[in-house]
Every structure is written in C-alpha cells, then in structure tokens.
Chains A and B, each alone.
Chain A
Amino acid sequence: MTDVPGERLRLVRVLTVGFAVGFLVVRLPHLLNLATYGADRFEPVGVLAPLGQPLDPALWRAVVLGALPVGVAFAAGRAARLTGPAFAAALLVIATYRSSWGHLSHADNLFTLHVGVLAVASALPRRRPADVLRLLSLVTVTTYVVSGIAKLRETGIAWVTGNVLRDQIAYDNVRKAVLGAPSSPLARHVVGHGQLLAVAALVALLVELGAPVALRSARWAGHWALAAWLFHLGVLAVMAITFPYQLSGVAYASMLPLERLSRRAARWRRAPRSSAASS
C-alpha cells in the first residue's frame, strides 16, 4: 500500500522549496541590488537585528547565489539532512535581510516558515510524514488567525463596518500612484460601495479567524483553502498587492490531497503508451 502522507510530503517539499528557489531566482536582481543600498537605510530585523551595519556585499552575494543550488538539491531530496537546514538558514537570512530596509515584506513570512519546518523535519532521523504535514498546516492556519486578531486588536468592531477597509484600499492605491507605481483600476469603483465593503471585511475576518476549520478534515481544508485563495485574489484585484506564495496555491499544499493529482497525472502519462502498445 502506498504511504499517502509520505507521497504528499514529498510533493509538498518539491512545491514549497521549489517556490522558495523560484522566488530567489525571480527576485535575484533585486536581492543582489540590496548590496548597493546605503547603511543609512539599514534597519535590521529578526535574526539580523544584532547587526550594526549591512552585510559585506561579497558575503551577501555569496549567500544569495549559494542558496540556489542548495535549494534545488533540497527540493530534489538530495542529502536532505544537510541541504534542508542549510537552505532554510540561508533563506531565513536572505528574506530577513530583504525586510531589513525599512519595510517588512509580509509576503515572505509563510514560505520562510514552511521551509523551516520542512528542513527541521528532514534533519530528524525518525519522523511521521502525517505529523510534518499537520505542522505545516498548523503554521498556515496560525498565521491567518494572527492576522484576524491584528485586525480586531487595531480597529475593533469598526473593521466590520467596511470603513477601515475602504480607507485602506484608497490609501494604498493613492500611495502607489503618487510614488509612480501601478495601482488597481478597480479601486475607484469599489470604494463607493459601502455595503459590499462591509461584506468583504466580514468575509476576510471569517476566513482569517475561521482558518482552524481547515484542520477538521480534507473537505474542510479544501473549502477553506479556496476561500483563502479567493481572499488573496480580492486583495490583488482592489489593492494591487500580491501574495505570490498564497496565490500560487503552494501555501495550502500541505492540506490538499496532492497525491491524487500526482497519481492522476501518472495515469495520464502512461495512457498513450498503453494504447500505442495495443495497436
């Protein structure tokens, strides 16, 4: 019998670590350019908080470029006990350094945490794939709940009226426009619909605070993952803010039956050969 969680964990590792490597490749020019930023803009956070000045440019470039082959090896499962922790540590430094210039990039948190969980799991001599998958899902769910708590803590019940969301949509789009960046063409239509915004604000809060339902069963997980994905699609549509990890769907991979898709794909690949052999 096939070990379903084991197969799913392998797929989740390929997708999650693959996403992280893809992120490094796509953002490579930006990441390497950080070496040229002036020390006056450096505001170190997280594990880099003790740093008094930016990293040496050569060291920074070595960490970024060195992380790529290590990440590819970890995604492929090669020497995972070594490449897993090495890549997770490098990714943590890279993502933290990227957030150390005055703006915390909240789109990077979840995949950095997921790679960390996968790395720790790969370094353990004995682990149950089902437990690792559950931990990954727990991390996902907790980040959403924390987001929901932040909304209630900062704005209280005013969040549900939709006014906070309306002002936030307007503020964010105007800020982008006056700083010469693309903004959402939908924003000016949306801000005039108070009831729609009140519903959207309530739905966003329900998706975030209701995230633990995803841990109940595969069916609940599928429904919640779809709701969360649509939530991020809405954020992209009206605020032009991208959460690539969530929008790619990889963020929810640990709670979805990927192994079924994998088997279906395998059957589909085999099918033409069978028919060719029989003719």
Chain B
Amino acid sequence: MARHLVSIAVVGIVAWPTLHVRPRDDFPLSTYPMFTASRGRVASFDVVVGRDGNDRLVRLDPRLIADTDEVMVAAETVTGAIVEGRASRLCEDVAMRVRRPRIVRVEVRTEQYDTIAWLRGHRRPSHVRAWADCRVPR
C-alpha cells in the first residue's frame, strides 16, 4: 500500500505543472513545452549582427552576442534587451567583445522570414527593424 502511495505521489509531483489550469513551465518540474508552439511559416528573430567596412552583414555567434555557447541563452538575451529597452547597451557590450578587424559596426535588430523559404535558400528578410547601432571600438 505504501509503495503505491509513494508511486502516486511521485507521478503527481512530476505531472504537477501540467495539472494547472494555466500550466507554467519551471525547473526541474516542467510542462515540457518544447516544440509545441504553433510557429507558422513567417517568424521574427531578434538578433545581433556585424557589418564590415563594405556594409556587408556578418553573423555573430552566441559567444559574441551573449558570452555563452548556448544559442537559446543568446536568443533570450537579445529579446530581453529589446523588450526592456536595453538594446543600445547590449549593442555596446557586443561591440566590446567583437575582436574581428573586419567588423566595424554592430546592430541589434529584428529580422522576419518565411522560415520554409529560408531553408530553401531565400535568405532575404521580408522585414527588418533596427533597435540599436553602434561602432566597434578600435
């Protein structure tokens, strides 16, 4: 009997977040919402990019964007900075980390794509909104 009660309790604890009317993700008890959002084909991405001397766009990696090797942390850092009005500060932080001589400017921006078309090679964003632009210090 005690074994069954313990089993029920363990299942209840692990499933607890999903039993709520409005499930809320947390750690280590989670609703495991990964892959569940209906994204649609058209999506916006908050990014930080570099520009070379010829104004060509250079993609920056998570290490330069947010001092991390985790892409999701980088994504949340950029979105958080935009939402909270800290895009200029993030831009300057990234510019300080960029040590590539060919990158002369950094931009914080939101790019919109048809993601399926992007995978098929159509890489031009349908919409771009710039939030901050700063020079790389020399």
Spell out A's residues near B (CB within 8 Å).
30, 33, 36-37, 40-41, 45-46, 92, 95-96, 99, 101-106, 108-109, 112-113, 116-117, 131, 134-135, 138-139, 142-143, 145-147, 149-151, 153-155, 158-159, 164-168, 170-171, 173-181, 187-188, 191-192, 241
Question: Of B10, B18, B68, B116, which contacts A170 at CB under 8 A?
Answer: B116
21 contacts between A and B (CB under 8 A): A103-B76, A104-B25, A106-B30, A139-B14, A146-B30, A146-B31, A150-B32, A153-B36, A154-B38, A159-B36, A166-B116, A168-B35, A170-B118, A171-B39, A173-B119, A175-B45, A178-B47, A178-B59, A179-B47, A180-B62, A181-B74
- What's the Cα separation between A96 and B17 when bound, in Å? 16
In the complex, which residues of chain A have a beta carbon less than 8 angstroms from the beta carbon of B60? 180
- What's the Cα separation between A179 and B14 when bound, in Å? 33
- Interface presence of B53 (CB below 8 A): no
CB distance from A162 to the nearest CB of B (A): 12
In the complex, which residues of chain A have a beta carbon less than 8 angstroms from the beta carbon of B6? 131, 135
- Interface size on B, as a range, is 35 or more
Known: A134-B7, A170-B115. A106 touches B34 (CB 8 A): yes
Please provide the chain B residues from 29 to 84 with a CB less than 8 Å away from any CB of chain A in the complex.
Answer: 29-41, 43, 45, 47, 59-62, 64-65, 67-80, 84
